[in-house]
Structure 1
């Protein structure tokens, strides 16, 4: 089978690693050994990116509340929707039991829930209830699985990771037919903010690890997420690299975040980051350009590149040849840091919408003049 995408980044030679690459390789355990996948050896070109995936990957693949077969099914469905033949082939090889296209029971609910996250970045009441029956963290683990594999798909396809010999891609058994889901505009408030005067021991431990984001003065979303300390613990290194340790300049970072949350229709996150944007000198006219899209006359210079590249990941799951090296000027991991921002805010948009998190007091959501840009955003 010919490769889906040409190779852009070859796997590293494990005998010729830099010091930092070797340090990260060792931390990767079995995923850094000589027999590891082409994906992991390719990711080692970007050691900070590879390291940021460790804890969230462990949660998704090993410690999730989702039973292994259902976690694999959620992963495979996400890979299918994102058009990642590489990820699809690996998941199916590791979990041959998920071969049936005639799904019923909880397997059907899991697939339909992933479809809802992909199309609406939300879960219906039925899926919220059904998936929640699997465990106290099951819904968060489903969202984490979806966001993690969205990020992997964007990286694998953009890097052109090649399918290893012997693995079966799209020619193998298919997946359930994709059904488009309507995106709701009015969201149910499901998860309320935790009372910081009555946190449990695990919540207190996690809040202390979060620094300023774990204080009682933090945002509504953070206060709601503290109800799921295992989720926050798994997300921490991924988020730290994407937010605190990124090599992207603040304006580039914020515009990438804003285009992602606009595409995912998270008015809560848009309102939160709008305040940060205005402090940076990003105007509401600039943000109208972000909402309108990469062809907007309101976008200038590199702002247009940022918006277009996020769109490439959202709509096509792959950064184009034209834009692949445009982020090198910010550092050797500029492009992977962009992928992390995109993946993190797809995930957080799902969380905010599924929780039904309401705007902070005094915050401004979507300005009325942005309404005309909402049409045509759906992946369908």
Structure 2
């Protein structure tokens, strides 16, 4: 469906200094004639800049063949109800429609459905897609994570499709409900942590770029992801803005992260960020409210706004008018920084679940008192 315009595209002749710097870095995507989406994103230059490298990986250097990458993008856009993104993918790849899917086309589309509904690929999809190249699985997950983020932004900003693009007419996305009842609880260990004594030169280079996150003392998930240095390099600017340079206060940031990983059922990430939350003074009672959801009596003040806004993106792929403006208090890019936190941790949840990353030694996963809230999510 098409959403009402909330943010108008910028006039490329009247940019601020920072917008002009980012426009130049965008290369052809910042030139006159670029899409309404990119001109709208330039209202939020740090958001636009954070998408550059991950977007290049998905659209230009992916191990997925172009047709399969386009199918993955189009299916994600469809599941997220983004007519704008769906129309653009189809305009760039007109041969996508009109035929019954079979072979690897079908496997890729079904794999996106699995990521969307349970954030976990079946063994069949994991091994079939893995045969496409050393980074194919990570490129599939990256494509899904990027387009989830783009859909939340595009739908919330109300970016309008350009004239001449094929719309999906009277059809509306079907089968998009988040059926978490089939979400697996026991996850196989598929990707093991790299041995830091035997890293390849490319892995060493990437680990050095990552600073403290690239050291041998880093988390299990980071040690597993170093097996895919190209993935980490593509993710870096996206993650840096979402984590290190965010305009969101630490409590807001952590609660947005926790609600996202709870909805995606990543016990590993919940465990890791619970420790950070407790250091901030966020109690286990507060986190029980995050797990219960936006109607929980345990949530207070702005915590409820954070949880409800994440839920809007997860379940409806669009932030409501009220919640959109409530993030103005954090500056011009407060709401887009929230979109980045959400998108990053949907992506990282998919990675952690598909890797089968186990809890760190001495860490605590879901507390028993949260079980009833987990069942509520799984049962819709």
TM over 0.5: yes
Paired residues of 1:248 and 1:330 also in contact (CA < 8 A): yes
Give the counterpart of 1:129 among 127, 130, 139: 127
Residue 376 of structure 1 deviates from its aligned partner by 3.7
Verify the 8 A CA contact 2:260 2:342 in the aligned structure 1: yes
Work out the CA distance in 2 between the residues paired with 1:163 and 1:63: 26
Q: 2:50 aligns with which of 52, 57, 68?
A: 52
Deviation for aligned residue 1:375:
2.5
Match of 1:169 in 2: 167
Correspondence 1:152-167 to 2 at 5 A = 152-167=150-165
* Greater Cα shift, 66-75 or 168-177: 168-177
Tell me by how many angstroms 1:331 deviates: 1.1
Q: Structure 1's 175 and 39: CA in aligned 2 closer, same or farther, altered over 3 A? A: same
Residues 15 and 98 of structure 1: is their aligned pair in 2 closer, same or farther, counting only changes over 3 Å? same
Partner SS state of residue 91, structure 2? helix
Gaps of at least 5 residues in structure 2 are none
The aligned residue for residue 283 of structure 2 is: 283
CA contact (8 A) 1:123 1:354 kept: yes
Tell me the residue number matched to 2:10: 12
Matched, 1:186 2:224: no
Most deviating of 259-268 and 322-331: 322-331
What is the root-mean-square deviation of aligned Cα atoms in Å? 1.6
- Name the SS for the 1:375 alignment partner: helix
Q: How does 1:98-137 map to 2 (within 5 A)?
A: 98-137=96-135
Match of 1:234 in 2: 234
Deviations 1:261-319 (A, max 9, x none): 00000000000000000000000000000000000000000000000000000000000
Q: Which runs of 4+ in 1 moved over 2 A?
A: 171-181, 375-380
1:370 match: secondary structure? helix
* 1:320 matches 2:329: no
| Equivalent pair of 2:115/2:350 in contact (CA under 8 Å) | yes
Partner of 2:199: 199
Residue number in structure 2 paired with 1:271: 271
1:370 is matched with which residue?
370
Q: 1:85: which partner in 2? A: 83
How far residue 97 of structure 1 moved from its aligned partner, in angstroms, is 1.2
Residue 171 (structure 1) shift = 2.3
* Segment drifting more, 348-357 vs 93-102: 93-102
Q: For the residues of structure 1 that align with 2:371 and 2:116, how far apart are their CA atoms?
A: 22
Following TM superposition, by how much is the alpha carbon of 1:7 offset from its aligned partner in structure 2, in angstroms?
Answer: 0.4
Residues in 2 aligned to 1:108 and 1:178: alpha-carbon distance in whole angstroms:
17
The separation in 1 between residues aligned to 2:377 and 2:243, in whole angstroms, is: 25
Quote the residue 1:247 is aligned against: 247
- Where structure 1 has 5 or more consecutive residues not aligned to the other structure, the ranges are none
Q: Distance in 2 between matches of 1:186 and 1:35?
A: 49
The answer (yes or no) to whether the contact 2:255–2:303 under 8 Å persists in 1 is yes
Displacement of 1:64: 0.2
Q: How big is the shift at 1:379?
A: 9.4
Structure 1 residue 101: deviation in Å? 4.9
The number of residues matched between the two structures is: 378
1:139 counterpart (134, 137, 140): 137
Conserved? CA contact 1:43–1:50, under 8 Å: yes
TM-score by length of 1: 0.97
> Is the 8 Å Cα contact of residues 77 and 175 (structure 1) preserved in structure 2?
no
Distance in structure 1 (CA, Å) of the matches to 2:146 and 2:105 = 20
1:178–1:259 Cα change, 3 Å = closer
After superposition, what is the alpha-carbon deviation per residue over 1:225-244, rounded to whole angstroms, capped at 9, x for unaligned?
00000000000000000000
Distance 1:379 1:308, change over 3 A: farther
d(CA) in 2 for partners of 1:287, 1:172:
42
Alpha-carbon separation, structure 2, partners of 1:173 and 1:98 = 17
Question: Per the alignment, in what secondary structure is the counterpart of residue 254 of structure 2?
Answer: helix
